[in-house]
Structure 1
Amino acid sequence: MSRKRVYSSSEKLRAIKDYVSGEKGVTQICTEMTINIATFYEWLRKYNASGESSLIVSKNIKYYPNSVKFNAVYK
Structure 2
Amino acid sequence: MSKINEYCGEDKLAILKEYEAGWGSRSEIACKYNINVSTLKEWRRRYELYGVEGLAFRAENKSYSMELKLQAVQDYLSGKY
Instruction: Verify same fold: TM over 0.5.
Output: yes
List alignment gaps of at least 5 residues for structure 1.
none
- 1:47 alignment partner, SS class: helix
Counterpart mapping for 1:9-28 below 5 A: 9-20=9-20, 22-25=21-24, 26-28=26-28
Structure with the greater alpha carbon radius of gyration: 2
In 1, Cα distance between equivalents of 2:2 and 2:27 = 20
TM-score with structure 2 setting the length: 0.66
Amino acid in structure 2 at the alignment position of 1:71 = Q
Count, aligned residues: 72
TM-score with structure 1 setting the length: 0.70
Match of 1:46 in 2: 46
List alignment gaps of at least 5 residues for structure 2.
76-81
> Residues 59 and 17 from structure 1, CA distance in 2 versus in 1: closer, same or farther, beyond 3 angstroms?
same
For the 8 Å contact 2:2–2:36, the answer to whether it is kept is no
Match of 1:36 in 2: 36
1:45 CA drift (Å): 0.8
